[in-house]
Structure 1
Amino acid sequence: MSDVRRVLHVIDSLDLGGAQTFLLDLVTHLDRSRYEPEVASMHGRGVYAAAFESAGITTHVLSPKKWPPYYVLNFWNLLRRERYDILHFHLFGANLCAKPLAIAQGHRAIVVHDQCNDASRERNPVLLAADALANRGVSRIIAVSGSVYRYLLDREDVPDSKLAMIPNGIDAGAFSPATDDQRKEARRTLGIPLSTFVIGGIGRLVEQKNFDLILEVAFRTIRVHPEVLFVIAGTGPLEQQLREKVERSEYAASIRFLGHVGDRTGLFHALDAMLMTSDFEGTPMALLEAMASGIPVVASAVDGIAEVCIDNRNGLLVPPRNLKGFCSALEKIIRDPEMRDSLGMNARRTILERYEISSLVKGIESVYDEVLARR
């Protein structure tokens, strides 16, 4: 019998998102002499399927589109056809739809990754109750932040013995502060003059990320600092609405939508600061990547963000949805180059010391070992 254990990672989709970015880093850093990872996307190949396949990861697409009967049936059949030692679920949709099927088939080594205190559970008590019920049949739940850990304890009554707190991490070696040449090249690629002060907003264009507020901050900031350029990197259902808001404003020349940016390293080399206005987060990947790149960050003081960022030490924190607070914090960043340098240096140190993917993957492998020992 082989000592290599097969691990199937099940996720809602392989569209653009922090959970997908983390999953790619996770499976490529697992000890392949001990674990053989595969990935199952419930619906669609998205932008990440090719990346998983290029990394040599077998990738199953259970449905070409978001059609629950189709991907539920195909997942059921996949579990009956293949023998997996561990099932690892990511994101709420996979947890809610696919996890009960695995439990029904008698799988006993089930790990759940809970990425954030998502609003869908809070708005719908039925979903909250269903998720809490399904969690009774899993082996371990990995919370990516202390706030997620406490949420699972308090709101879903998950016993402390079933929880592990392991934050998301990144390959910090892939991100670093830009050299002068790298900065010139990044600006040349994007067509941005070196003299321009560039502020980035990065992520899925969804309600949670509050990009509408980023635009309001941009309008006020550009009014005072016409030399500033805001770049929005990401796609999502709110993209057209956000673009139209900019087009109706008098600041369209100073706000640029980049769409999906595959070369995030190059993007960070072009930035002077990053703005994150999310209403809730687990451990956001864009935040970790920006900090590893030495970029000063202004962010909402919520959930996992506030566990990574310490105000005035490695970033600036603002109460959520506080327009004046975000504008004031950005003003400090723009006017004070010494503050930018200090925050950026401390931010990178934080990532190297606490959020390097290789050490965090060892923690996940320990969870796997424990789960397998209990079967």
Structure 2
Amino acid sequence: MQISYFSAVIKLALVIPTLDRSGAEKQMTLLASRLPRDEFEVHVFALTRGGPFEQSLREADVPVTILGKRWKFDPASMLRLRSALREFKPDIVHTWLFAANAYGRIVGGGRSAWKTVVSERCVDSWKAGWQLWLDQRLIHRTDRLVGNSQSVAEFYREHGFPEDRMTVIPNGIAVPERSPKGREQLLEELELPADAKLIGHVGRLAKQKRVEDLLWSIQLLRQADARACLLVIGEGPERDSLVQRTLALECDKHVRFLGHRSDASRLLSLLDVYWLGSDFEGMSNSLMEAMAAGVPVVVTDIPPNRELVQHDQQGYLVNVGDGLGFAQFTRRLIEDAELARKLGEAGRTHMREEFSIDKMVQSHAKLYRELSANRQATKTLQPPR
């Protein structure tokens, strides 16, 4: 008799540190909200706190449990996670980002009642030795590692994770309708002239993003074209020092720090050029959103960016720290409207064809089905006790 492994709904627990407004959290929320309900019962567990995406999940009727982790290592919250998972009885636990990846595998034990998937979202060169050591110690408790780019997968392969238990699933991105509506209002809000050329950066203001390099670039660019203005969208520990840097460079009149914006995706569509100066990434959501909006991009020449941008096809790749390169390529784009339109449209097409949200969700669903089938087969083959 043939056994069907897909007759029952797959119970999926998604575990993540917070539901703050950031890239991994956004991808997880899209996934949780769009998996087919007739196949998957999804429950989200946030280790530390909720955030803006908590409301999005609840509106999509996805249950959310906040576990209240207080410290980096918090045994009480680990016990709460273990208790919550045992009560939910998942078939698969899928964890996202370092803290959740560690906690989820530790509470699962050596012979877990569920399959364990971990998501790694960045080329994590920031990790300390003890964090990499812990990752390696927990490999045997990991059924699958999902990277969002080939570069992320390669990083973890080099650090000892078996290639046959890796899967690459790129981020999914929505391609909005193109509309310049709101640009005039934005220029008025920022007290900029009608002919201003808007260059934008979206991301956490942390050293990894190398926003200071972008300040050098806007200082160079504004000397060649006084219409240029850099919009920095996001918050982070570097904000105060970056504001002071604009004063020291005398480019403060050409930079606007906008902080967190709930309408960041809409603002991206109003830009003339998008900048990303990071020295490491996983797969940048903001870069993908800019490309999906039809905005030409100038970004650092690092492996994850090369997976999204072909030089002179959807934008330009520049060496890390090359402020002059950013300025020169951007000047070319703002002086040649047809070139900017051509590169922007190529990026938009690339996002639509290769990086859709549906494709991201379908790839995860396929992985979950395979793991669930393996789990059911293993249970079926086990001798009775």
User: What band does the TM-score fall into relative to the shorter chain?
Assistant: over 0.9
The range that moved more, 46-55 or 353-362, is 46-55
Are residues 161 and 67 of structure 1, via their aligned partners in 2, closer, same or farther at CA, if it must alter by over 3 Å? closer
What's the offset of the Cα at 1:55? Answer: 2.4
Q: Which digits, 9 at most, give the CA deviation of each residue in 1:213-242, with x for residues without a partner?
A: 111212221222221111100111222222
Q: Distance in 1 between matches of 2:84 and 2:134?
A: 23
1:279 and 2:279 matched: yes
1:45 and 2:45 matched: no
What's the offset of the Cα at 1:148? Answer: 1.4
Measured on the aligned residues, the alpha-carbon RMSD in Å equals 2.0
Residue equivalent to 2:114: 108
**Correspondent of 1:25 among 26, 30, 35:** 30
Aligned length: 369
Are residues 73 and 238 of structure 1, via their aligned partners in 2, closer, same or farther at CA, if it must alter by over 3 Å? farther
Q: Which digits, 9 at most, give the CA deviation of each residue in 1:241-275, with x for residues without a partner?
A: 22222244422122111111111332023211110
Instruction: Map 1:72-221; keep pairs closer than 5 Å.
Output: 72-104=78-110, 106-121=112-127, 124-156=128-160, 158-172=161-175, 175-179=176-180, 181-187=181-187, 192-221=192-221
Residue equivalent to 1:237: 237
**In 1, are the aligned partners of 2:12 and 2:40 still within 8 Å (CA)?**
yes
**In 2, are the aligned partners of 1:140 and 1:367 still within 8 Å (CA)?**
no
**In 2, are the aligned partners of 1:210 and 1:277 still within 8 Å (CA)?**
yes
Are residues 64 and 75 of structure 1, via their aligned partners in 2, closer, same or farther at CA, if it must alter by over 3 Å? closer
* Secondary structure of residue in 1 paired with 2:36: coil
**In 1, are the aligned partners of 2:110 and 2:140 still within 8 Å (CA)?**
no
What's the offset of the Cα at 1:186? Answer: 4.8
Unpaired segments ≥5 residues, structure 1? none
What's the offset of the Cα at 1:311? Answer: 0.6
Q: Distance in 2 between matches of 1:2 and 1:65?
A: 40
**In 1, are the aligned partners of 2:96 and 2:118 still within 8 Å (CA)?**
yes
**In 2, are the aligned partners of 1:178 and 1:293 still within 8 Å (CA)?**
no
Q: Which digits, 9 at most, give the CA deviation of each residue in 1:102-152, with x for residues without a partner?
A: 23572331111111111233xx33321210221221111111111112222
Q: Which digits, 9 at most, give the CA deviation of each residue in 1:170-223, with x for residues without a partner?
A: 122xx23324x4544554565544311000010111121111211121222122
What's the offset of the Cα at 1:64? Answer: 6.0
Q: Distance in 2 between matches of 1:275 and 1:126?
A: 33
1:12 and 2:17 matched: yes
TM-score by length of 1: 0.92
Residue equivalent to 1:54: 59
Unpaired segments ≥5 residues, structure 2? 1-5, 376-385
Are residues 125 and 203 of structure 1, via their aligned partners in 2, closer, same or farther at CA, if it must alter by over 3 Å? same
Are residues 147 and 241 of structure 1, via their aligned partners in 2, closer, same or farther at CA, if it must alter by over 3 Å? same
**In 2, are the aligned partners of 1:16 and 1:204 still within 8 Å (CA)?**
no
What's the offset of the Cα at 1:57? Answer: 1.7
Letter in 1 for 2:108: A
Letter in 1 for 2:196: T
What's the offset of the Cα at 1:41? Answer: 1.4
Percent sequence identity is: 27
Are residues 247 and 51 of structure 1, via their aligned partners in 2, closer, same or farther at CA, if it must alter by over 3 Å? farther
What's the offset of the Cα at 1:87? Answer: 0.5
Residue equivalent to 2:3: none
**In 2, are the aligned partners of 1:116 and 1:148 still within 8 Å (CA)?**
yes
* Secondary structure of residue in 2 paired with 1:88: strand
Q: Which digits, 9 at most, give the CA deviation of each residue in 1:315-364, with x for residues without a partner?
A: 11111122222222222222222221111010000001100010221111
What's the offset of the Cα at 1:293? Answer: 0.2
* Secondary structure of residue in 1 paired with 2:109: helix
Are residues 74 and 247 of structure 1, via their aligned partners in 2, closer, same or farther at CA, if it must alter by over 3 Å? farther
TM-score by length of 2: 0.90
* Secondary structure of residue in 2 paired with 1:120: coil
Q: Distance in 2 between matches of 1:192 and 1:72?
A: 50
**In 2, are the aligned partners of 1:43 and 1:67 still within 8 Å (CA)?**
no
Q: Which has the larger radius of gyration?
A: 2
Letter in 2 for 1:133: R
